[in-house]
Structure 1
Amino acid sequence: MNVASRFPRHKPKPVDNRPHAVVIGAGVGGLATGALLGAKGYRVTIIDPLDEPGGRAYAHRQDGFTFDAGPTIITAPWLFEKLWHDCGGRLSDDVELRPNTPFYRVRFDDGTVFDYSGDRAAMEAQIARIEPRDVAGYRSFLDESRRIYEVAFEQLAHKPFHSLLFTAKTLAGLVRLGGYRSVYSVVSKHFKSDKLRTLFSFHPLLIGGNPFSATSFYCLIAHLEGKYGVHHAIGGTNVLVRGIASLVTRNGGQIRLNETVTEIETEGRRAKAVRLASGERIAADIVISNADPATTYGKLLKQHPRKRWTDAKLQRGDYSMSLFVWYFGTNRRYDDVLHHTMLFGPRYRGLLDDIFRNHRLADDFSLYLHRPTASDPSLAPPGGDAFYVLSPVPNLQSGTDWNEAAEIYRRKIEKRLEQTMLPGLSKSIVSSRIATPLDFRDRLLSWQGAAFALEPKLFQSAWFRPHNKSEELDNLFLCGAGTHPGAGLPGVVSSARIVADLVPDPASLPGGHWEGNGRGSAQ
């Protein structure tokens, strides 16, 4: 018998000669960009230092609990439906999104509770109980939020601001929208009650902004939530992440985990390759960075002569606050606690001044409490609850020694939760872990441990933010929270779409690749 017929030789895997796009970082922005570029015809390699994709949207699994590490509020679900459609799939085949009603519960320091929803009648009834005169203000605020949304989101969120000419053309409209005002100043124009001013201005904190300095464009969030609702993914946001990752691999892309990019190699104004911590060099036709722009320019391009994003400019930037996050599981259920709860402390402006301006860790805090098992009990063992509680804190400019401060701070939060929302908490905890600004710096490679890159102020937004098409290299592109349009799940998915529109059509590249660059093979 012919031996070769019994053991046929495997045919060699065909060489993939498509132009090579290397994506640094497997956060939601990087994954979405990789998926869109794969659908466009690129060979895609995504590289990330973590052991699972997701970046800030990573998931911790321990003791039978699943804890989403970061984003939990899903707005504008149509952005994900379109992402799946453009990559040849259907969102509903991979992810089940369900609405939250109400969106979240707000608890003020004096015990006043407000259920925030898209039900205008219910909202107006609650507003009237706090300040009857502010019902009219609520209506006028929603009208202004809609006008801002129609320009800042519908017209501009998906457009790149790398052109000064385009910026100049849109400037008049942006001025008419009042982008020079802060979110808090716009809200204060409509509401007289301090409680309601707090209630309708806190949203920028969800994307790293200070309501007292974030551009009023972020007032659009009120209309966005009202129009599309607030949703969660069954199984957690990590299921959404896994779904986007599958879009990458379905089109032949590769996601390499536990690998860290240490340098982008350049020649003139072109990125030639990325270098890994292992020493491996991966050649690329285009490079997309989902990393923090300050890390991209200050570390990965440290050897490249930069004209705009110099070390001095990076150091002068105002970076977002960081976060202290405590993930914990209990052996009992708290069925009166909703999926999302905001707990405001005794101070608002003073606390935000300490976080953003004074860079001081204050004794008081405001908290976001996430209880996904309110909607999806599968995330905890039977009879238990999964939680995380998030506290905005200063980034590492504060000088806080988190190795010493973390457990003290956690205990203060535990005590506050036990007094307000979760009676008997200390005796019910069966699983616990924390994340501090050190984790954002060391694990997520964020500049100064900032949780959301540059703070979204007027002169750090749009054209003033690091561009989606790099100013320093012709074939380097940026996606994610640190570039336009900004942080939050809608923002990072929009950044991916901008990049996918900016990169050249792979079929149009000379010789099938960018100016003869070795077809992106690993070297």
Structure 2
Amino acid sequence: MNKNIYIIGSGFSSLSASCYLAKEGYKVTVLEKNDTLGGRARQYKKDGFTFDLGPSWYWMPDVFERFFADFGKKPSDYYILDKLSPGYEVYFGKNDSFKISDRLEEIYQLFEEEEKGSSKHLKSFLDSAKSNYETAILDLVYKPGISPLELVNSTTIARVTQFFSTIRTQVRKNIKSQKLIQILEFPVLFLGAKPSNTPAFYNFMNYADFGLGTWHPRGGMYKVIEGMVTLATTLGVKFQVDANVEKIVVDEQNNVKGLVVNGDEIETNLVLSGADYHHTETLLNQNLRQYSEIYWAKKTFAPSSLLFYVGFDKKVKNVSHHTLFFDTDFDLHAVEIYDQPKWPTAPLFYANFTSITDRTSAPEGKEAGFFLIPLAPGIEDTEALREEYFHKIVDRFESLTNQKIKESVLFKRSFCVKDFEQEYNSYKGNAYGMANTLLQTAFLRPRIKSSKVNNLYFTGQLTVPGPGVPPALISGKIASDLIKKNQL
């Protein structure tokens, strides 16, 4: 049995797979093209400020616990978690915001105050969401996406109608308040698709939100990366940074033969790629690629993003650690991402101020701000457009939260479509991978095992189970299990 494997990329899925494979006795080497580990979850530090460049939400803590438990460890062995209260805040207009508590009873009360009778419907909705969560997390999401039969059992048969209805239909059946509707439809945005295109079964994200709460690793999400790297290292995994994979070498029998890294060929006959799936296939000759450019062009990709990392010389008021700004037309913004791609007319946006709850992320008396605008992947990206949209959202931010912050900016760094392409080889500069729509779920997603090249495997947000940090951890386990099975 071949026990030597190279993994391309060092994001969450790659790190997860590296740990599982090393535990099984594989000699694992992780190759990262950038100068630091973590893939899209890298960290940026400047003048005493610390920013997570990518993922900033810690949801589904049980998935992290299960990952570390597989190695006899706990998250607390590597980082400290704080539960956020409120979990997040949502602005709908000037002096009009809802704080989402970390306690269900307070959330029920919030709903009831906004719409009489809605708490009863919310309880029923969350009962369904919890049941779906248990079904998904304990069973479905750990399937390798090889066959439709993976989805067929007594539990899923009982829920079959939920795969042909949508989150939007389910949410709006009993809730009428547009504010409450937006709060309930928000979590599926992590799956990368519109609520009108996301199967109702995925309401389990609402249980992840209200039921399990929002957490923060002290020191930032990069602490999770550091913990996983530490674990992997103790298991014997080797890491190489500034290691750009330029080609996957395949022999005449279509077996992996090696990799070209920074111009030099490395011999190996087993490769797992956690890099962008489309990009990885461009490292192969055309006849060895499973999916054509037409295939990729037809797929629904999750949004790209315009991100700003901003250091402020004062504390910011009237916001929470996570703050969402839903004061503009949700549906119009969705159309301008998915249906008629363009720079949004009046974008919804998200702001994150980790230094409100985490003193390590900014100097005393100052604030670290992270702003995100979802965008259509593949659109034009210029410095002028970035600057225009920074002023658009900051003007609204100032108005909605009754404060001035522009003159308090010490520095700002932006990250957008071009950067996702250059830094991560991301298809059309998408930020989150391929959306989890009905026709892009489970076995309908790109394969983990190449059908054309022997001993070439894939992991990450374009494979099963889909976008997000917890799914990435699971994807790494799925890929490692399949490799182990096929190598026996």
What TM-score bracket applies, with the shorter chain setting the length? Answer: over 0.9
State the SS of the aligned residue for 2:193: coil
Aligned to 2:422: 442
Contact conserved, 1:293 with 1:453, CA < 8 A, in 2? no
Contact conserved, 2:94 with 2:399, CA < 8 A, in 1? no
Letter in 2 for 1:273: G
Superposed CA deviations along residues 239-278 of structure 1, whole A, max 9, x for unmatched, are 11111111222122111111211222223343222222x2
Letter in 1 for 2:409: I
Q: Distance in 2 between matches of 1:190 and 1:57?
A: 38
State the SS of the aligned residue for 2:431: coil
Q: Do the aligned partners of residues 101 and 176 (structure 1) sit closer, same or farther apart at CA in structure 2, a change above 3 Å counting?
A: same
Letter in 2 for 1:492: A
State the SS of the aligned residue for 2:33: coil
Note the 1:95-174 alignment, pairs <5 A.
95-109=79-93, 111-167=95-151, 173=157
Aligned to 1:361: 343
Aligned to 2:67: 83
TM-score under structure 1 length normalisation:
0.88
Contact conserved, 2:434 with 2:467, CA < 8 A, in 1? no
Q: Distance in 2 between matches of 1:311 and 1:332?
A: 48
1:300 paired to 2:283: yes
User: Paired residue for 2:302, among 315, 320, 338?
Assistant: 320
Aligned to 1:213: 197
Q: Do the aligned partners of residues 302 and 209 (structure 1) sit closer, same or farther apart at CA in structure 2, a change above 3 Å counting?
A: farther
Letter in 1 for 2:445: R
Contact conserved, 1:345 with 1:364, CA < 8 A, in 2? no
Aligned to 2:372: 390
Contact conserved, 1:39 with 1:86, CA < 8 A, in 2? no
User: Paired residue for 1:39, among 20, 23, 27?
Assistant: 23
How far did residue 490 of structure 1 move?
1.0
Contact conserved, 2:84 with 2:102, CA < 8 A, in 1? no
Aligned to 1:261: 245
Q: Do the aligned partners of residues 62 and 84 (structure 1) sit closer, same or farther apart at CA in structure 2, a change above 3 Å counting?
A: same
Q: Distance in 1 between matches of 2:438 and 2:274?
A: 22
Contact conserved, 1:340 with 1:370, CA < 8 A, in 2? yes
Percent identity reads: 28
Contact conserved, 2:461 with 2:468, CA < 8 A, in 1? yes
Aligned to 1:14: none
Letter in 2 for 1:113: S
State the SS of the aligned residue for 1:200: helix
How far did residue 164 of structure 1 move?
4.0
Q: Distance in 2 between matches of 1:311 and 1:478?
A: 18
State the SS of the aligned residue for 1:157: helix
Q: Which of the pair has more CA radius of gyration?
A: 1
Q: Distance in 1 between matches of 2:65 and 2:127?
A: 27
Contact conserved, 1:266 with 1:304, CA < 8 A, in 2? no
User: Paired residue for 2:476, among 492, 496, 514?
Assistant: 496
Contact conserved, 1:76 with 1:228, CA < 8 A, in 2? yes
Q: Do the aligned partners of residues 182 and 270 (structure 1) sit closer, same or farther apart at CA in structure 2, a change above 3 Å counting?
A: farther
How far did residue 171 of structure 1 move?
10
Q: Do the aligned partners of residues 162 and 99 (structure 1) sit closer, same or farther apart at CA in structure 2, a change above 3 Å counting?
A: same
How far did residue 491 of structure 1 move?
0.5
How far did residue 87 of structure 1 move?
3.3
State the SS of the aligned residue for 2:342: coil
User: Paired residue for 1:275, among 240, 245, 260?
Assistant: 260
State the SS of the aligned residue for 1:101: coil
State the SS of the aligned residue for 1:365: coil
Q: Distance in 1 between matches of 2:321 and 2:438?
A: 32
Q: Distance in 2 between matches of 1:240 and 1:362?
A: 33
Contact conserved, 2:6 with 2:268, CA < 8 A, in 1? yes
Letter in 2 for 1:116: I
Note the 1:67-82 alignment, pairs <5 A.
67-82=51-66
Aligned to 2:4: 20
Contact conserved, 2:435 with 2:466, CA < 8 A, in 1? no
How far did residue 486 of structure 1 move?
0.8
How far did residue 431 of structure 1 move?
2.1
1:342 paired to 2:324: yes
Letter in 2 for 1:225: D
Q: How many residues are paired up?
A: 487
Q: Do the aligned partners of residues 411 and 110 (structure 1) sit closer, same or farther apart at CA in structure 2, a change above 3 Å counting?
A: closer
State the SS of the aligned residue for 1:388: strand
Aligned to 1:13: none
Superposed CA deviations along residues 157-193 of structure 1, whole A, max 9, x for unmatched, are 1111112443566896286251122221221123111
Gaps of 5+ in 2: none
Q: Do the aligned partners of residues 422 and 110 (structure 1) sit closer, same or farther apart at CA in structure 2, a change above 3 Å counting?
A: closer
Letter in 1 for 2:386: A
User: Paired residue for 2:405, among 425, 434, 444?
Assistant: 425
Aligned to 1:481: 461
The CA RMSD over aligned residues, in Å, is 2.2
Q: Distance in 2 between matches of 1:479 and 1:469?
A: 9
How far did residue 76 of structure 1 move?
2.4
Aligned to 2:391: 411
Q: Do the aligned partners of residues 178 and 502 (structure 1) sit closer, same or farther apart at CA in structure 2, a change above 3 Å counting?
A: same
Q: Do the aligned partners of residues 401 and 84 (structure 1) sit closer, same or farther apart at CA in structure 2, a change above 3 Å counting?
A: closer
User: Paired residue for 1:352, among 329, 334, 355?
Assistant: 334
Superposed CA deviations along residues 368-399 of structure 1, whole A, max 9, x for unmatched, are 11111111111111211111011111111x3x
Contact conserved, 2:2 with 2:270, CA < 8 A, in 1? no
Letter in 2 for 1:366: L
Q: Do the aligned partners of residues 183 and 471 (structure 1) sit closer, same or farther apart at CA in structure 2, a change above 3 Å counting?
A: farther
Aligned to 2:275: 291
Superposed CA deviations along residues 272-304 of structure 1, whole A, max 9, x for unmatched, are 22222x21222224211111222222x122434
How far did residue 470 of structure 1 move?
2.9
Q: Distance in 2 between matches of 1:21 and 1:83?
A: 21
